[in-house]
Amino acid sequence: MTPVFDLTLIWVGIIGFGLVMYVLMDGFDLGQGILFPFAPDEEARDVMMNSVAPVWDGNETWLVLGGAGLLAAFPLVYSVFLPALYIGVFLLLAGLIFRGVAFEFRFKARSSRYLWNWAFAGGSIVASFAQGAVVGAYIQGFETENLRYVGGALDWLTPFTILTGVGLLLGYALLGSTWLIMKSEGYIQDWAYKITPRLLLGVLVVFALIGIGSPMIDDMIRERWFSGISIIWVIPIVALVFAALILRSVLQRREGQPFVATVGLFISTFVSLLVSKWPYVVPPNYTFWDAASAHESQLFLLLGLLFVVPFVLVYTAWTYWVFRGKVKAGEGYH
């Protein structure tokens, strides 16, 4: 009997939503860590950390949700991705651990505070770069035979994946600076306004290089984007519109609009990646349907998520509402 609903497509939507939520919500607090070494002074670092301290661990719920859902709904992804990306995933998790520990210990430390500053910054930078490199590895594809990864342990680390790692570093820093514009005031906000256009320029340059490099390493992307006039060219145009909105809102000293426009820039970039690789989840050979678990397994897990996802959304919205408003120097979560 043919299923009424294509559960694979539903799960693609769920996993995609979870990944977008993670990138956006954990992106701005990773961005605080990336910007940490460049902050004007220690008071500014206190404000930066306090602006995300109430929400950072809740933001990472989406990483757990997306990862667990990916394992359950698309087990082939795990059987290929983990052997291919062991080192990258290890760096990602190690960076998140260092950053999480630094959140609690930095405010209690005195003489060793500088060490926790570096732990927070280093963990954020390593985790962000690893995420970007993993995205680059997905774009360039995996060497597989008989549903198994047969490449080397360092095949994921190439000049292209280094470029995507740097691109996500700059992107998270941009999210962080626009978040700080919205959450801070005085000289700290002035500093965030100052660095945002520079970060935006860096993001656009690296994204342009990635856009040039992707068709060179992937025949499918080249054919999809350059086989005549295509509607998918609307996506980068939308991204450029969001970039222009970021710049204009910063020049006009708007507070909320730069962050909202940066979110739009990230979403349009994610859609561009999805469209470029669709329907392959383990490129260049396996589609989402090839990687999917049994229909019964997907249905059973979907029933559980019907309870979990609304709860996470309500909790997240409530947390952001409670901790809305400006974070002032000398005050905050700790």
> What confidence tens digit (pLDDT) does each residue in 238-283 have?
889 999 999 999 999 998 899 999 999 999 888 888 877 788 788 7
Is residue 333 a part of any domain in this protein?
no
Is it the case that residue 42 has pLDDT exceeding 80? Answer: yes
pLDDT of residue 51: 87
pLDDT of residue 230: 62
CA 155 to chain centre: 22
pLDDT of residue 220: 66
Least confident of 57-66, 128-137, 291-300: 57-66
Distance between CA 114 and CA 61 in Å, rounded? 28
Backbone angles phi, psi at 228, to 5 degrees: 90, -175
Q: According to the per-residue pLDDT averaged within each range, which of 99-108, 205-214, 225-234, 313-322 is highest? A: 313-322
Is residue 124 a part of any domain in this protein?
yes
pLDDT of residue 192: 93
State mean pLDDT over 7-32.
87
| Residue whose C-alpha is closest to residue 176's, from 224, 229, 133, 121 | 121
232 secondary structure, DSSP code = G
Do residues 205 and 211 make contact, with C-beta atoms less than 8 angstroms apart? no
State mean pLDDT over 89-99.
89
Is residue 327 a part of any domain in this protein?
no
Distance between CA 289 and CA 320 in Å, rounded? 37
Is it the case that residue 321 has pLDDT exceeding 60? Answer: yes
Is residue 260 a part of any domain in this protein?
yes
Is residue 112 a part of any domain in this protein?
yes
Is residue 334 a part of any domain in this protein?
no
CA angle 227, 233, 234 (to 5 degrees): 150
- Note if the bond before 40 is cis, omega within 30 degrees: no
Distance between CA 115 and CA 124 in Å, rounded? 14
How many domains, the chain?
Answer: 1
State mean pLDDT over 173-195.
92
Is it the case that residue 327 has pLDDT exceeding 50? Answer: yes
pLDDT of residue 333: 55
pLDDT band at 221 (very low <50, low <70, confident <90, very high): low
| Residue whose C-alpha is closest to residue 142's, from 283, 291, 287 | 283
What CATH number is given to the structural domain containing 313?
1.20.1630
Q: Which two tokens stand for residue 263?
A: 């979110």
What is the pTM assigned to this prediction?
0.90
Is residue 1 a part of any domain in this protein?
no
Is residue 330 a part of any domain in this protein?
no
277 secondary structure, DSSP code = H
List the domain range (segments joined by +) for residue 308: 7-322
Residue found by looking up tokens 């998918």 in the block: 232
Is it the case that residue 17 has pLDDT exceeding 60? Answer: yes
